[in-house]
């Protein structure tokens, strides 16, 4: 969990960004920002809705989805697709991409320089600009790989 001071700072900055973009800083938007600030990492829209509804049961799931979209438009939140599951949302802080283990579901935040060669190659060969924030590279984490390697093959 994030500290109260840092949570308040993130929430205040987020509400100011909404106002600067011409939006309204509503109590429900505050709750969504508080949820994202208090739960670092990646939450699905359903998880965000669950946390918000625990504090304010009358908030509709559709309202949470619209708020997440608005927060993404103004650059406070970003979402990514991590394989087969639903999109996840997190506060936009340091620039990073995602590595997701297909065995256990672990999500690793990876520095953008890891994706530099992929970005350069896609641009050079295909004229395509890769956005590593939006997708995840799927594979297997070290723990799952080591566990699988240590398990004897069936005869």
- The string of pLDDT tens digits covering residues 112-134 is 788 888 889 999 999 998 877 66
CATH of domain 4-90: 1.10.10.10
pLDDT of residue 69: 95
Percent of the chain residues past pLDDT 70, beyond the cut: 89
Same fold, 4-90 and 94-150: no
Round to whole Å and give the CA distance between 9 and 28: 17
Round to whole Å and give the CA distance between 121 and 18: 36
State whether the Cα torsion 129-131-136-141 is positive or negative: positive
Domain ranges in the chain?
A: 4-90, 94-150
Is the pTM higher than 0.85? The answer reads no
Tell me the pLDDT tens digit for each residue of 33-67.
Answer: 999 999 877 899 999 999 999 999 999 999 999 99
Round to whole Å and give the CA distance between 124 and 127: 6
Indicate the fold that domain 94-150 takes in CATH. Dna Ligase; domain 1 (3.30.1490)
With a cut of 70, say whether residue 4 has pLDDT above it.
Answer: no
């Amino acid at each position: 969990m994030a500290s109260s001071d840092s949570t308040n700072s993130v929430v205040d900055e987020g509400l100011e960004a909404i106002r600067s973009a011409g939006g309204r800083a509503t109590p429900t938007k505050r709750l969504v920002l508080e949820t994202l600030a208090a739960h670092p990492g990646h939450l699905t829209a359903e998880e965000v809705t669950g946390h918000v509804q625990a504090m304010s049961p009358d908030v509709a799931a559709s309202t949470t989805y619209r708020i997440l979209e608005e927060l993404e438009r103004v650059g406070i939140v970003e979402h990514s697709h991590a394989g087969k599951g639903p999109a996840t949302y997190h506060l936009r802080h340091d620039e990073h991409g995602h590595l997701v283990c297909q065995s256990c579901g672990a999500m690793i935040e990876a520095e953008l320089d890891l994706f530099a060669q992929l970005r350069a190659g896609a641009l050079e060969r295909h004229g395509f600009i890769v956005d590593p924030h939006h997708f995840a590279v799927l594979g297997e984490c070290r723990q799952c790989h080591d566990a699988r390697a240590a398990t004897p093959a069936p005869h």
